[in-house]
Structure 1
Amino acid sequence: MNPLLSQLQPYPFEKLKQLFNGVTPPAHLAPISLGIGEPKHDTPEFIKQAITANLSGLANYPSTLGSDALRGAIADWIARRYQLPRPNPATQILPVNGSREALFAFAQTVINTQATSSALIMCPNPFYQIYEGAAYLSGAQPYFVNADPARNYSPDYANVPADVWERVQLLFVCSPGNPTGAVLTLADWQQLFELSDRYGFVIAADECYSEIYFGEQAPLGALEAAHRLGRTSYARLLSFSSLSKRSNAPGMRSGFVAGDAELIKQFLLYRTYHGSAMSPVIQAASALAWQDEQHVIQNRALYKAKFNQITPLLQEVLDVQLPDAGFYLWAKVDKLAPISDTEYAKQLYAEYNVTVLPGSYLARDAHGINPGQQRIRMALVASVDECLEAANRIVAFTKKLAR
């Protein structure tokens, strides 16, 4: 067996299952899960109809490069969304089976262990665990940069030593962030681009939450930031996006990467051998999804309504703020009483049948701290009524802790 597999840590939800082992929640309370970031809003009907209308595509082998129609629809969407010159669909766009598999596979394309035996992949902390797994299984090691609450949870890259940067081959950026919801500023991107120029590493920008936001201004994207700063070739930069959150279609496993044409060329070569082509049925439906914005506006309104109602309720008992974007609340749990994030989650489940994810499961001990400690992640993905019920139970539970 591949010895690198032994370095993988259990996924957060496996840790949560172990934490709850032997716990029986009250049967009179219906279970409510805020633990998993799985969209629960309805998938738009036109997407479902597009799938059934294109089932004849099952008789065809798909192209790894994807159809002209899909790549063109993605290029049009990028140009509209970020106010950019239209990317070249033939060289700067590549459809993928969801951003998760693409983020993982991209590390296998980029990391060069022959150049050094001590290659690093830099990740924010807390982070999406795929980044860590991608690092280990590419033969690199993850290097975590802690998110700083005083900097709107932006990692403090300025304090990373030069000898670390010299070993970094790939930087994973998540903006809007999971779990913090924080969005990088233009100044943040300028700093990262200058570091990339100096040390030669590639930037993979995970932007799957970009279309769920609460203000009037849409989150700044990586390609948008590069263009504003005069980096029109998107050198050493790829953006990863998906229909999962934008269109409530996680089961389609449909997304894209876009940016540096040379990186796209090499990633396409890897994926051709990897067997990662998207089904023609999903390609056809995806093209229509990227062309329609009305369902995205409606979806965003549903999230706004939930967060505007639930955040003030939870602020009574938890240290929590409305995030920049995304569908998570990242809350500190010790506002009223000292308690660990794991014990908070376990007791909440045991007494009120509400599931939240301990923040320490989403982070690693790095530079003397685990930045997820005493925090929980709540995914407000269910209906307004269900989320309100969960919030009221959390308020009651936390007040009880303080007595």
Structure 2
Amino acid sequence: MNPDVAADIKDLSTTLEGIESVMGLDELRAKIAELEAEAAKPNLWDDVEYAQKISSQLVHRQAELRKITDLRQRVEDLEVLYELSEDEGDQAGLDEADGERKRLKKELDALEVRTLLSGDYDEREAVVTVRAEAGGIDAADFAEMLMRMYVRWAERHEYPVEVYDTSYAEEAGVKQATFRINAPYAYGTLSVEQGTHRLVRISPFDNQGRRQTSFAGVEVLPVVEETDHVEIPEKDIRVDVFRSSGPGGQSVNTTDSAVRITHAPTGIVVSCQNEKSQLQNKAAALRVLQSKLLARKKEEERAELNALKDSGSSWGNQMRSYVLHPYQMVKDLRTEFEVGNPDAVLDGQIDGFLEAGIRWRRQQDG
């Protein structure tokens, strides 16, 4: 076998060994067994929300184990494929092996990024809020484009998405939207998206066809779990109910089932209008409020310990530009990672940006 190819295969195997070690295959198998036992309980679906959580965790952890064992088999098969092709003088077989080697390297690089997610809440699911900022109707349209981008990203990975609240703008787009991505490590992965995103294009809403710059903000929070002890006394909140509305302000509900919760001590306001009942909407809104309070508590703790050094990930810091005119480019301003196909990025192909962001953050944390 070509010495360079042999060395490359050895590197692939070593990289995979590192991933297997960090991800802890024995612990992963034990967790799957635990979840399977829980999922087999006859009364599991008495609590639908808990049952869905167990089912989701089981599916994703089984997929993780399957992916790692499949990669191990492919690395081992690769060496055999090269040897057989060389022995038989099969050029087509060698070309196929070269292609598989490139695919394996790309997949292992992406999986290796997961091992960099070791923060307190990185393995949690994520609550994402996208908000229109400066730029009027173009900003609202851009916010909706970003929401679709994250939903498409989740769909590409087969991650369930649960929309909590959508506040539509008058003419087009959204003022603000909050949704949850139900997948392990969704928070750690998407937290590098937090900040201000900038769009430059010829405005479709300007009858003179002028170039417009608009901005949208992205906030990413970890989903709160029972162990977090984020208690919210009833006296600290005001609950208002209202009628759900759709695009253009039209009513989509005949009852006042939408819920808005105001947290008096902090002034934080959250709302939910996408569930069927007022009770469900209140429960969902409380979960979002808990996530926001948990994030605030974490920030305060970090500030006390470290005077909160600026790592470029806070809400409000400009972190990515999407240029559609006069040229086509999406560029991350922190990592310098860029792609010349904005349509693909806005259709959810953002894994390259996520991987670069996670590696960059790890370097910043030193």
Pair in the same fold by TM > 0.5 = no
What TM-score does the superposition give when structure 2 sets the normalisation length?
A: 0.25
Higher relative contact order (CA 8 A, sep 6+): 1
Higher helix residue share: 2
Higher strand residue share: 2
